[in-house]
Amino acid sequence: MTEKLEVLRTSVLALAEGKKYTTLKDILVTMKAADIALLFDEEMPEEVVPLLFRLLPKDLAADTFVEMDADSQHTLIKGFSDRELKEVVDELYVDDAVDLIEEMPAMIVKRILQQADAEKRRMINGILKFPDDSAGSIMTTEFVDLLPQMTAQDAILNIRRSGIEKETINNCYITEKDRKLIGVVTIRALIMADPETTMQEIMEENVISVSTMEDQETVAHQFSKYNLIAMPVVDKEDRLVGIVTVDDVLDVMEEETTEDMEKMAAIVPTDSSKPYLKLSIFEIWKSRIPWLLLLMISATFTGMIITSFEGALAKYVILTAYIPMLMDTGGNSGSQASVTIIRGISLKEIDFGDILLVIWKEMRVALCCGLTLAAANFAKLMVLDRLTWMVALTICLTLLVTIFCAKFVGCTLPLIAYKLGFDPAVMASPFITTIVDAISLLVYFQFAVHLLGL
């Protein structure tokens, strides 16, 4: 919690205790919904939140409700009368209502659906049928659609009548009678147009749309590539069924980034709607233990390699001292390559077809990095550690070969995972490190056997 929030929380609590409701209301109405929600989420006593919530004007109350986390929403709804619940549900946009329903337990969901009017219930159910993370699941069905023969004047009148219920009016979609999407008109074009022009004349026909089943990450990428603020979603017959707006895309991008970073750090992604401080110990444990266990067991191979060269190591104990340096440098080189490629894939800059180009590039980088590090290391081994020529050579050659292998493994595994339909992010540091550890030891002992005659 930031200091500013802490200060605010203390004074709001004091005012609530002193029953200074008018003052409280005056403070709350100058705040943004997202900030009020933060305040409500931060360990406010359970009885104070409904009290404060009831002070908010209807639309601010609904906006605040949407921004609250699932736990606080749950607590609040439990205290709502049916009429209060209806008031909030009426104000919610359909996509926000769907998000809410997905987080609530069955009993509450039933109450919410009971309070929604028939039209809204139909729309909610329409969206609920799409799989998580699909374009359909993040779209809203409240958009402006116009007919091709409408004039600009009629269109504006139409928006004046119905626009208040739409999530955005910045893009209006032109559909034929069978709801087939045939064009888009921006509100700017509508305002600029001569009042008598028809939609057909000013619409942009070349519309970028997605299908309901498209992955939300791809949708986000399209927004960024084409600088969109809204995007129509169509079904298999090209009929317009909803739109995705850019505010939801910003959330998707944050969510996907968190997920990628978690995967890269060997964490099974956690429930993205819960901030870290609200996750239980068990939830965190559950997300961290699988990879730790798997990677620990994989390290058995590394142990087996060392065991099989036990005799040699006993003779040349000094070699052991350089094992961590070799393994870490290998691991770091490998993760540099893998993270670069993983990011390139997710920005659609790199495709599986580029694999040979990528390998060729990484091999040259490995040569440059390997030579620099081996040279620096050789100098250090000779001058500071005062090793013999042959031992220093063994270590530095191992370093060079390890870096080559690490960069190779690091750049190819994510591309192969991608080709096979897995998430390349899993092929990051921890996974690469385990493989590179084994490789570096094998190389090390081979050089030791041949150069030092162990």
Among 27, 109, 113, 373, interactor with a second copy by CB under 8 A: 373
Among 7, 14, 107, 318, interactor with a second copy by CB under 8 A: 318
The region of 10-18, 115-123, 428-436, 445-453 touching a second copy under the rule CB under 8 A is 428-436
Nearer to a second copy, 127 or 381 (CB): 381
Query: What's the closest the beta carbon of residue 44 comes to a second copy, in angstroms?
Result: 17
Nearer to a second copy, 5 or 109 (CB): 5
Site for a second copy in 172-211 (CB under 8 A): 187-188, 191-192, 206, 208
Among 28, 94, 146, 369, interactor with a second copy by CB under 8 A: 369
Pairwise CA distance, residues 352 & 411, whole Å: 11
Query: What's the closest the beta carbon of residue 150 comes to a second copy, in angstroms?
Result: 15
β-strand 171-175 against 181-186: which pairing, if any?
A: antiparallel
Secondary structure element (H or E) that encloses residue 230, with its range = strand 230-234
Query: What's the closest the beta carbon of residue 110 comes to a second copy, in angstroms?
Result: 29
Nearer to a second copy, 379 or 416 (CB): 379
Task: Return phi, psi of residue 45, to 5°.
Answer: -55, 140
Token representation of residue 418: 């991608």
The region of 30-38, 76-84, 128-136, 414-422 touching a second copy under the rule CB under 8 A is 30-38
Rounded alpha-carbon distances, angstroms, from residue 349 to 21, 225, 227, 250, 437: 56, 12, 17, 20, 29
Interior angle at CA 261, CA 259 and CA 264, nearest 5: 110
Secondary structure element (H or E) that encloses residue 234, with its range = strand 230-234
Measured from the Cβ of residue 252, the count of other Cβ atoms closer than 10 Å reads 20
Among 58, 78, 196, 285, interactor with a second copy by CB under 8 A: 285
Site for a second copy in 38-77 (CB under 8 A): none
Query: What's the closest the beta carbon of residue 79 comes to a second copy, in angstroms?
Result: 26
Per-residue contact string for residues 144-173; x = within reach of a second copy by CB under 8 A = ------------x--xx--xx---xxx---
CA atoms within 13 A on the CB side of 343: 8
Asked whether position 132 contacts a second copy by CB under 8 A, the answer is: no
Rounded alpha-carbon distances, angstroms, from residue 403 to 240, 373, 413, 427, 433: 52, 9, 15, 17, 12
Asked whether position 293 contacts a second copy by CB under 8 A, the answer is: yes
Asked whether position 377 contacts a second copy by CB under 8 A, the answer is: yes
The region of 24-32, 48-56, 105-113, 211-219 touching a second copy under the rule CB under 8 A is 24-32
Token representation of residue 445: 């002992």
Site for a second copy in 103-122 (CB under 8 A): none
Nearer to a second copy, 109 or 246 (CB): 246
Cβ neighbours for 454, distance < 8 A, ≥ 6 positions apart:
309, 312, 315, 316, 445, 448
Pairwise CA distance, residues 56 & 391, whole Å: 75
Asked whether position 433 contacts a second copy by CB under 8 A, the answer is: yes
